[in-house]
Structure 1
């Protein structure tokens, strides 16, 4: 695992987590995520020699932590600018507090996006010429 690369790439997730709390509406957030997935997949393929899927998956899990933290820290502005999500968190079937619902749903989305990011990284590894030095025992 290339933890240094994963940490650096996860800063996209931190930036987007903060940006969605204040600037970016949910109807265009997906465009930003697609760009982040593609850019991250490229850098994973370029800088890793193996475990492309795992690196992508772990990246999305770390992104999930950043985004959940940003949305919890900036809970009021996030909820004020995301009415659809606020309704989902406030009226969840388990009658959880909105913050707990945000956290649980965020983890599920993080896992699903991890599968997508891992797949993107794996596909990119088949396309991009790798410059990293292979791991040797």
Structure 2
């Protein structure tokens, strides 16, 4: 069974990153932070789940995706001002969508792809990590 409490608690990394990247973390730094977050989350999923590691990691990334898209939309002007490359991509999309709609669509695709990676990390961690719960993440 998937622990939605665990997913919601771990998704606070996504909320924090969504706000931080919108307000002050540039995209060239963000790329170094996500692998660290993926590894930490994979470890905590492996430590605190009894099964469905891949699915838990995948669902975690989908919830993170929602937090990040919401934060980037709420702080849209700040995000666009601090992320020129992404702003150009959103503004000049081939389908002539509004930048906000393009942000949502691209964010969902990135969320699904990162979910596959997070799920794989969690599955691999489940094969390495012993199952003693270290933090009270379970419901």
Structures share fold, TM-score greater than 0.5:
yes
What is the rounded CA distance, in whole Å, between the counterparts of 1:63 and 1:22 in structure 2?
A: 17
Are 1:90 and 2:87 counterparts?
no
Q: CA deviation at 1:31?
A: 1.1
Q: CA deviation at 1:131?
A: 2.2
Q: CA deviation at 1:23?
A: 1.1
5 Å-filtered alignment, 1:55-134, equals: 55-131=56-132
SS at match of 1:129: coil
Q: CA deviation at 1:30?
A: 1.2
* Partner residue in 2 for 1:15: 16
SS at match of 2:11: helix
What is the rounded CA distance, in whole Å, between the counterparts of 1:115 and 1:93 in structure 2?
A: 26
What is the rounded CA distance, in whole Å, between the counterparts of 2:54 and 2:31 in structure 1?
A: 21
Q: Which runs of 5+ in 1 are unaligned?
A: 133-137
CA RMSD of aligned residues (A): 0.6
What is the rounded CA distance, in whole Å, between the counterparts of 1:73 and 1:13 in structure 2?
A: 15
Q: CA deviation at 1:28?
A: 1.3
Q: Which runs of 5+ in 2 are unaligned?
A: 134-139
What is the rounded CA distance, in whole Å, between the counterparts of 2:48 and 2:34 in structure 1?
A: 21
Alignment: residue pair count: 132
